[in-house]
Amino acid sequence: MIKSLKIKNYALIKDLEMQPHAGFNTITGETGAGKSIMLGAIGLLLGNRADTKALFNSEEKCIVEAIFDLGLQQLKPLFELHELDYAGECILRREISPAGKSRAFINDTPVTLDVMKEIGSQLVDIHSQSDTLLLGSSGFQLQLIDAMANTRNLIDEYRLLYKDYKKAENNLETLQFQATEIKKEADYHHFLLDELQKAALAADEQELLEEELRLIENAGEIKSRLEESIQNLQESEDLSIIPQLQAIRRNLESLTHFSSGFGELAARVESCWIELRDVCDELHNEFIRVEFDPERAESLQDRLGLIYKLQQKHGVQTVSELLAIQADLALKVERVLNVDEELIQAEKELERIKRDLYKTAQTLSTQRKSIFDELSDKLGNHLKELGMPHAVIQVAANTTQPGPYGIDDLRILFSANRGIKPEELKNAASGGEFSRLMFAIKYILAEKTAMPTIIFDEIDTGISGEIALRMVKMMAGIARYHQVISITHLPQIAAWGQNHFFVYKDDSNKTSVSRIRKLSDDDRAMEIAKMIGGDQPSSSALDSARELLASGKKIRE
């Protein structure tokens, strides 16, 4: 419910503030005093578009702010969905700058207009004679029937099953597509796998083969260089390094009696001599191992040629990548063998969930249909109270494929006149009839579900007398469960409010401004008397006003 509403610098409103009662509030005032302007400002909190032309002072910012008590409304999931702080109170604020920039806030967090509209619609419901689009929608009609039938738990159960059903359905469709594609390519994949498996590749063989081939192909040059190196180390009479190192070692050893340092140098030369002897032995071994082998070279070339061909075919550069492709192909070939079994299991799972889904949907449908007659009777009776004695309400039900809310295609049919066959609401009801029907629906819903603050915008237009009295009694009935704000021209309705606000135009300054004030009991009597008898009400009009106030107070108590 609205705990407080502040409007600053909007249209004819310079600065306005009100704290509505938690129950039944009425707002009256002369035509053009600003009642509709208030609704326009509240509309900004519901995400409506703004225009700088609406600014009272074009050089100042317009601010509309309302504090809401969230009460029993279960809105925490919605707030969490949009990553908004949630508490028992919620603040909606809209700002319009002189430059036309619009900003929206929920609990001081900036939000988009779409988010403000989504959350605002859960907090305020403005009901007017033009409120026809909502009632004509099949979704709203289904919500009405579900509220009457108390199907919330069943719907939650059904929606979980429906989620599983759609998931299983999508899984089967994906498997069917994959199976078709897999089977199309199965032979080709098998051929590629067979080719790679026959190649019997090893991860590091390419580098080893290429090195061995280089040795064979360059065997002549390698042996020549090795032979020369061996000679330079020990076989050349004059230039061999190893014999010369021996001579150096002996010379240094002969000097050790002069200094121990020569002995250390001799030891180091000996280490070099030993290392070079080992190198020379290994050179001999390599010289013996390296041979030109035409048959082995051809075998290596063939093997490498196969590897290069496979790499080019698969668009890779290493044997490791070929082995990864081989493993992937093996999985694909194996998948062909398993895909039919997967399809069978997916079809069984879908059928199992579908059975549970239809079972729950049938239970949900039965529970909905059980209140059709009650809904028709209640709405018909309320419409008779509201001056439509021949109104007929029926619910047409058809079965459809499973959807998010069941298998029911439900439509409320309506006829306002005797002998006229009920039709869909969008074809059968006028604006005034729609308004009264919607009012009757909200009266029924008030006892069944948590609803936002309801603002009735002059829905009493065109009614009077006993019908007006019945309507105000129904409003008071709604106000037992929810906050109601009724903008009215009827004294019968104005007198029943727990709070009565008066909107008036202040012309005391150069620019007219709209103001609002809460009326005291005496002020209420005078205002209602004026509504009955004009600006100069008679004593009888004043007596009638007091009787209406007393009647309203008695009913409320």
| Of the candidate ranges 134-138, 234-238, 295-299, 421-425, the one whose mean pLDDT is the lowest | 234-238
Residues 6 or more apart from 377 whose CB is under 8 A from it? none
pLDDT digits (tens, 9 = 90+) for 521-557: 889 999 999 988 888 888 999 999 998 888 887 766 6
What 3-state class would DSSP assign to 12?
coil
For residue 462, CA distances in Å to 32, 77, 459, 488 come to 19, 41, 8, 11
pLDDT of residue 37: 84
Q: Per-residue confidence at 21, pLDDT binned at 50, 70, 90?
A: very high
Do residue 104 and residue 7 come from a single domain? yes
Query: What is the C-alpha separation between 390 and 415, in angstroms, rounded?
Result: 8
Does residue 204 share a domain with residue 120?
no
371 has pLDDT over 70? yes
The Cα–Cα gap between 438 and 410 comes to 17
State the alpha helices, DSSP H only, in 19-130.
35-45, 76-81, 113-120
Strand partners, 485: 25, 455
Q: Which residue has the higher pLDDT, 182 or 134?
A: 182
For residue 130, is pLDDT > 70?
no
Residue pair 416/435 in contact (Cβ under 8 Å)? The answer is: no
Q: How many CB atoms lie within 10 A of CB 380?
A: 19
The CA distance from 12 to 55, in Å, is: 8
483 occurs within a structural domain: yes
Indicate if 126 and 200 belong to the same structural domain: no
Q: Which two structure tokens, joined as six digits, stand for 45?
A: 């909190």
231 and 298 in a single domain? The answer is yes
Residues paired with residue 89 on neighbouring β-strands, in sequence order: 69
Rounded mean pLDDT, 129-142: 66
Residue 320 in any domain: the answer is yes
Q: Is residue 421 part of a domain?
A: no
Q: Are 35 and 126 in contact (CB under 8 A)?
A: no
Query: For residues 457 and 488, is the Cβ–Cβ distance under 8 A?
Result: no
DSSP of 359-410: HHHHHHHHHHHTTHHHHHHHHHHHHHHTT-TT-EEEEEEEEEEEETTEEEEE
Q: Which of 83-97, 270-284, 401-415 has the lowest mean pLDDT?
A: 270-284
Q: Do both 119 and 224 map to the same domain?
A: no
Closest CA to 346 of 354, 336, 337: 354
Q: How many of the other CB atoms lie within 10 Å of CB of 65?
A: 18
Last residue of a domain, one of 266, 297, 332: 332
Q: Are residues 218 and 127 in the same domain?
A: no
Q: Does an H or E element contain 303, and which? A: helix 294-314
pLDDT at 219 over 90: no
Task: Give the pLDDT score at 428.
Answer: 65
**Which DSSP category does 53 fall into?**
G
Give me the pLDDT at residue 512, please.
83
Asked if 123 and 485 touch (Cβ cutoff 8 Å), the reply is no
Examine residue 535 and state whether it is found in any structural domain, yes or no.
Answer: no
Q: Check pLDDT > 80 for residue 451.
A: no
Is residue 209 domain-shared with residue 317, that is, in the same domain? yes
Question: How many angstroms separate the CA atoms of 119 and 115, rounded?
Answer: 6
- Specify the CATH number for the domain of residue 96: 3.40.50.300
Give the count of domains, the chain. Answer: 2
Q: Are 411 and 418 in contact (CB under 8 A)?
A: no
pLDDT at 239: 62
Mean pLDDT of the chain: 84
- Which residue range forms the structural domain that includes residue 100? 1-131+451-519
Among 161-175, 187-201, 277-291, 468-482, name the one with the lowest average pLDDT: 277-291
Q: Which residue has the tokens 């606000």?
A: 501
Residue of 496, 88, 160 lying closest to 361 (CA atoms): 160
Give CA–CA dist 529/353, Å, rounded: 66
326 and 192 assigned to the same domain = yes
Counting residues of the chain whose pLDDT is more than 90, the rounded percentage is: 23
Region 17-41 average pLDDT: 86
Question: How many angstroms separate the most distant Cα atoms in the chain?
Answer: 150
Token pair 């004026």 is at which residue? 530
Answer whether 291's CB lies under 8 Å from 281's CB: no
Model confidence at 148, pLDDT cuts 50, 70, 90, reads: confident
pLDDT of residue 308: 86
Percent of the chain exceeding pLDDT 70 equals 95
Residues in the chain: 557
Give the whole-angstrom CA distance, residue 386 versus residue 174: 56
As beta bridge partners, residue 413 has: 394, 424
**CA distance linking residue 183 with residue 170, whole number of Å:** 20
Q: What is the CA radius of gyration of the chain?
A: 46
**Residue 537 belongs to a domain:** no
In a domain, 206, yes or no: yes
Q: Does residue 222 sit in the same domain as residue 318? A: yes
Q: Is residue 387 part of a domain?
A: no
pLDDT in tens, 289-344: 777 777 777 888 888 888 888 888 888 888 888 899 889 888 877 777 778 888 88
Domain contains 466:
yes
**Of 332, 349, 371, which one is at a domain's C-terminal end?**
332
Same domain for 125 and 206: no
Amino acid 283: pLDDT: 80
Cβ partners under 8 Å of residue 42, min gap 6: 5, 64, 66, 124, 126, 455
Asked whether residue 125 falls in the same domain as residue 191, the answer is no
119 and 236 within one domain: no
